[in-house]
Structure formats: C-alpha cells, structure tokens
Structure 1
Amino acid sequence: MGHPYSVPAVYDEPARGILSTLIALTTVCAIARVASRWIQKADSAADDYLSYLAYFLNLANLISGILLIPKHAVSLPGLMLGNPDDLDYITNSFIAIGIFYILTILLSKLSVLFLFRRIFTMHITTFRIAWWANLLFLVPCWTAPVFTLMGLSIARKDLRQSDISKIGTPVVAALNAFSDIMMLLLPVWSISKLRLPKQQKIALVGVFAVAMIATGVSIGRAALLFIRNHVQWNPAYNTYMDIVMTASETSAAFMCSCLPVLKPIIIKVNKLCSRSVSRITGTLQTGRRDPTGSKASRLSLHSDRDTDTWKVNSSQKGIHRVREYDVDVDVIPLQSGMRGHSPS
C-alpha cells in the first residue's frame, strides 16, 4: 500500500490497483444481490433500493479517486510543480469525494437497518426501541456533524489542515465506528430469542457479523486520523491515504449491506459446482478399464452411488440388476427350489 517515507513518493500504481479492485468487488456484490433477489422471486424492498443507490454513489467515489491520479494528487514530484489547475481540480474532487463518502455510508447503513426491520418483527418492544435508537444516532448524531464539517470544507476550499479538521474529522470517524458497533448488536438479541438449535443461532449471528469487516475498517480509519495529527507525512502520501481509506470504508460498508442477502445465489452456485464435480467424477469412473481386459471383469460391475449389484445370468447370458435395498430377504419367503437364484 505504499510507505510514507518512500522515494520518490509516487503512489500512482498502488492507488490505481486498490481502487480498481474495489470497483470489481463492489460490482460483483451488486450483481450477486440482484441475482439473489431474482432467484427468490422476491419484490425489491426498501433495503434493496438503498443498497443499489449506495453502489452508484460508491462507484462515483472510486472513479473520482482514479481521476485524481493523472492530476498528480498522489505523486510528490507532481505536487511540487504546483500547477494551479491541478490543485483546484484536486480540491474540488476532494469535496465531491467527501459528499459521496457521507451519502454512501449513510445509505449503506440505512439499507442494513431496513433489512433488519424486514427480517425481525417491530412488534417486539426491545427490538423496536433498539432499531429507532440506531436510526436516531445515525442521522442526527453522525450525519449532522459530518455535513457541518463538509460545509466548512466547501466554504474554506481546504479544511484538511485546519484545527477544526484535525479535531472534528477523527471525532466523526469515531462516531461512525461506534454506530457500526451498535448496528452489530441489534440482531443479536432477536436471534437469541428464536426457537432454533444453538448451532443455527450461531450461524445466523455469523451471517450478520460480516458487518465487522466494515466496522474494522471504520475503527482503523479513525485511529489513522488520530495518528496523522502527530506525525509528518509527505503531502502525496497524505492524499493517497485519504483516498484509499475513504474508498475502503465506503466499499466495505456497501459490501456488508449485501452479504446477508446473498444466501440464495451461494446455494445455487454450490449446487452447480457439486453437479459439475459429480459429472466429472462419474466420467472418470466410467472411463476406467480393467487392465486384464477379461470378460468376467467387465461384467462384474459395482456402483457405489446406489449400491446396485450386477449379476450374470448364465442361462440367458444377460445382465440383471438387483437393487439390494429393494429386496428384503427376511420378509420375502424363498422356496427351497428357488434358493440360489435371483428373484424375478
């Protein structure tokens, strides 16, 4: 991912590689979500629309980061040239990235909240209170401060080096991480009350716990912003980390909003893979030949899948298949003259 003291401090390739990878991963998640809902034959709900909108906003965020690379935003030699047009473009792009960041995080979390609302009943008082607490914390307590910082950034054109930014940005990032933790705890109580085996409860909690990925990224970004106030990074690396960490957090938030609803397509893909493996295995087993090439060995065949037994009838010189699980010798009385012959 680069190093703050690398020489000549050009981070074009790492930034382009990370952003391109995130575009590919988020696009796969978006397509998989659409396919899963189609497999279920389910109508789109509020959480689906919010997630799709979050995808396009995150895509705009990632593309904006890629477009900054030709403008020498993550190259120290290019920044040292001080091209006024490039510097203005970088400033305006960071304002756009900030807006995309806020809206993507907000919509991704709202998508998860409305997914919980769709899955769990709002008639349970405890869950209803916890759901509204999450919503109110997300909208007023996080969205209001972050939009305030964004407004000051637009007014001053560059707020990243101001005292307000050095204090406000890490605080807002910490509030975002705390909101992630609150949302992680939301479905746990409801799942614990379900009448399911313990293993299934753990599996359900694990499905929703994938949001820990986004939470980890949020905590890491908040810690990085606090650390950055006490270290001296070159401007190119500073810009590079802003682009990469912002893109990683928004992409992780979007992907985590999709993962809990991808079970249908995962099952479908698993079945297709199992069938392909079975066909390949069957072809290999059918293609085997006895090295002796004897007639008796070719007629003595065994099938492991249905435990069929193939026998040779000497009088008719043909093959009769007898399913072992279709014949119960303890129930069917065999006459003394019929013993030793295959049942007709």
Structure 2
Amino acid sequence: MSMITCEKLMGAENAAKVVIPSMDPFDYTSTQQGLAIGIVIGFTALAFVILCIRVAGRVSSHQFALDDALVCIAMVLSILETAASYMYIRTNFIGIRWQDIPPHDPVPGLVWNYAIEILYNPILALVKTSILLFLQRLFGHRPGVRRFIVWLNIANIGMMIGVFFGVILQCIPISKTWEPTLEGTCIDRRVLFTVMSSFNIFTDILMLALPMRIFISLKIPKRTKIALMFVFLLGFLTTITSMIRLALLVQGLFMLKTSLNPDANIGFVISAIETNLALITASAPALRPLLRTWFPKMFRVERDGITGNTERRVLGTIATRMTRLKSQTQLQSPTQRQSEEAAMPFNGIIKKTDIVVLRDKGVDNSRPSTAPQGLGSQQQTEKWI
C-alpha cells in the first residue's frame, strides 16, 4: 500500500508529520452512493434530451435565438458539473457510512468541490437570463414590463459575475481553499453561499410572478390560460428545490441540529437536481409549439367566439386574409375588363358592379377598432401558443 505524507503545521520550528494511507476511493461503494451517482447522471441526461428536442424544434422552425444559445451553454456547464460531482462523490466517500470510510487524503475531494462551486451559480444565472429574454420577446412591447425585465436581468448578470469571482477568490492564496493548513485568509463562506442561495430564490419568485400577472390579464379562453400558467409554473419546482438546498446548506454551514441521518447522507445531490431542473423547466415553454405540432389533438388551442361557441382561432393578419380572398376570387385584369366593356352595347343604363365583402365569423368589420392597449401582448402570445 502506498503512503502519502502530509505535514501538519504545529509551529514555526516544530512540524509533526502525519502519515495518511493512500486509499483508492473507487474500491469503496454502497447502495446509497450508487443512488447518488444515479440521481446526478439521470437528471443531467433528462435535461440533455429535453434540450435537444427544444433545439431541434427551434432550428426546424428557423426560430433559434439568443435565449436558446444561453441554455445550450448552461447545459455544457451542467455536464461539466456532473463530471465534477461524480468525482466528488467518489473521492469524498459520499453515501458511505462514516464508520466505513477509511483514512484518506481529503484534498482531492475539496478540489472537486471547489470546481462544483464555480460551475453551480453560472448555470442558474444563464438559465434565468434565457427565460427573461424569452419573456421580453413575448411581452417586451409593454414599457413597464420591459423595464422590469431589463433591471431584473441586470441584477441577475451582476450577481453572476460577483459570485463567480467571489467563489474563485474565496481564499487567498486560492490553493488554501483545498489546503486549509496553508497560510492565508478566507472570506466567511457561510455568508457567501447563504446570500447566493437566497438571491436565487428571490429572483425565482419574481420571474414566476411576472408571467402569471400577464396571463391573468389576457383575454384568452380559460382552458388555454390554465395550460399556459401550468407550463410556466413548472419553474416553481426549481424554486422548491432551491429552498430545500438552502435549508440543508444552512444546517451544514452553521452546524445546526438536523433530523437527517448523518450516516450515508446524500443531500449533496440536491445541487445537481436544482441546476438540471432549471434547464428542464426553462425548456418547457419552448416545447409547447412543437408538441402542439406533433400532437394537435392533445395540445390544440381553442378560442371562444362572441356567441359563446368554440370557434377556430384565426392566426393570419389582415394582409393574409386578403391574400386568401384573392386566391378564392378570380379577378380580371384591367385590359380584359376594358375589352369586355367595349364589346358590351350601350343601352343608356348605368352599369353596376356588385362588391361582395367576406368577413370572419364573429367579427364586425363595420365598426371601428376599439382594441385595448394590451392587445399586442395577446396577439404575440397567441402566435407563441
């Protein structure tokens, strides 16, 4: 068995050598550890599949935009976080009872934990920016909503940059992060991670409240409104996971009493669940048009008419309707019409031309438009749904 020699600082003159046996962490496993690895890899794989479906739908419809690119970047970071989480679970003996953990060098586990801390916050921040850009594309024509989205996005990006450098430079020198015995200083990491998690929950709540407030004011059928609110409320699953993670984080950082069994505790996987749930729920609204195309009977959208009967929703604009009208009615060219009028004998009676006006069912074109100011948001939403 190979040996690793670590010097523990006992003073400037005397330094005691502590000999720690070098154990291969891959030789130790348990059912709990296998479950932890399965959860981390399983949620990442599910998020990857859903993201691929989203990207395929966006590319096929020529609608791939910046919000989709940001989610793709977050997915790459999530895959890297999954690899680091796997190594941390192995090297830190997560899921193994403390009585069965052999003496080992803790440095590799702390290094992988440091990598996870760096990757965690940018994933959530990029996903939130993607969602905010999506909401701005839907409802950005409203000045108040646009300002709210812009300021919330600025706060989100600013927090991402600040936390990123705060995590990297949490200890000076940086190597003190995984070598606590080195000389140097560290910030109060308990405050850093608690504030970071609290801010994530706060922004989650604001982002959930915004579309709900807008959907309530839209004049669309109740069934459609409930479906849209359900799709966006899927993000609440991520918020619940964030709250659970914050509770576990506070208990661990501040050494509070907990009812959790310390033996083979796999609460660490909550971070991977949170980040991948964010990716999944962020892709849910983008999947609705694609699912409506694949399963029209299940995801069809209906619109209530003035008479109360369910009518087919008209998606075309006035120009589109005129194009359809022209395609149904054959119009004669001016030259052809003049030749016919020249051949017609004049009998002293003025010629009359009948004009037939076709109207959409349930729409009164004779009255001036009195659409409310929020109609643009409704039309934009209808194009999305």
Q: Which of 214, 221, 229 is equivalent to 2:245? A: 221
TM superposition shift of 1:215: 0.9
Query: Which is helix-richer, 1 or 2?
Result: 1
Contact 1:73/1:79 (<8 A) preserved: no
Q: Does 1:118 align with 2:118?
A: no
Counterpart of 1:164 in structure 2 is 188
Q: Distance in 2 between matches of 1:79 and 1:33?
A: 44
TM superposition shift of 1:80: 4.5
TM-score for both structures, normalised by structure 1: 0.66
Counterpart of 1:148 in structure 2 is 166
- Quickly say closer, same or farther: Cα 1:167–1:200, change in 2 above 3 A: same
Contact 1:213/1:252 (<8 A) preserved: yes
CA-based RMSD of the aligned residues comes to 3.1
The 3-state SS of whatever aligns with 1:81 is coil
Q: Distance in 2 between matches of 1:57 and 1:112?
A: 17
Counterpart mapping for 1:1-344 below 5 A = 11-39=32-60, 41-74=61-94, 75-76=96-97, 80-84=101-105, 87-120=106-139, 122-141=140-159, 143-145=161-163, 147-153=165-171, 154=174, 156-158=176-178, 164-228=188-252, 229=254, 230-231=256-257, 237=264, 240-242=266-268, 244-270=269-295
Q: 5+ residue gaps in structure 2?
A: 1-28, 181-185, 300-385
- Quickly say closer, same or farther: Cα 1:222–1:69, change in 2 above 3 A: closer
Compare relative contact order (CA 8 Å, sep 6+) and give the higher one, 1 or 2: 1
Offset from partner CA, 1:168-202 (integer Å, 9 cap, x none)? 32232111111100111122233334332333223
Q: Distance in 2 between matches of 1:159 and 1:220?
A: 29
TM superposition shift of 1:22: 1.0
Offset from partner CA, 1:264-302 (integer Å, 9 cap, x none)? 33234436999xxxxxxxxxxxxxxxxxxxxxxxxxxxx
The 3-state SS of whatever aligns with 1:262 is helix
Offset from partner CA, 1:276-330 (integer Å, 9 cap, x none)? xxxxxxxxxxxxxxxxxxxxxxxxxxxxxxxxxxxxxxxxxxxxxxxxxxxxxxx
Contact 1:159/1:165 (<8 A) preserved: no
- Quickly say closer, same or farther: Cα 1:188–1:126, change in 2 above 3 A: farther
Contact 2:201/2:239 (<8 A) preserved: yes
TM superposition shift of 1:163: 8.3
Q: Distance in 1 between matches of 2:235 and 2:166?
A: 27
Q: Distance in 2 between matches of 1:80 and 1:71?
A: 11
TM-score for both structures, normalised by structure 2: 0.60
**What letter matches 2:277 in structure 1?**
A
TM superposition shift of 1:105: 0.8
Contact 1:36/1:263 (<8 A) preserved: no
**What letter matches 1:180 in structure 2?**
D
- Quickly say closer, same or farther: Cα 1:48–1:78, change in 2 above 3 A: farther
Q: Return 167-176 or 149-158, whichever deviates more.
A: 149-158
Q: Distance in 1 between matches of 2:196 and 2:107?
A: 26
Q: Distance in 2 between matches of 1:142 and 1:53?
A: 14
Counterpart of 2:365 in structure 1 is none
How many residues in Structure 1 have an aligned counterpart in Structure 2? 260
Q: Distance in 1 between matches of 2:277 and 2:231?
A: 15
Q: Distance in 2 between matches of 1:95 and 1:263?
A: 37
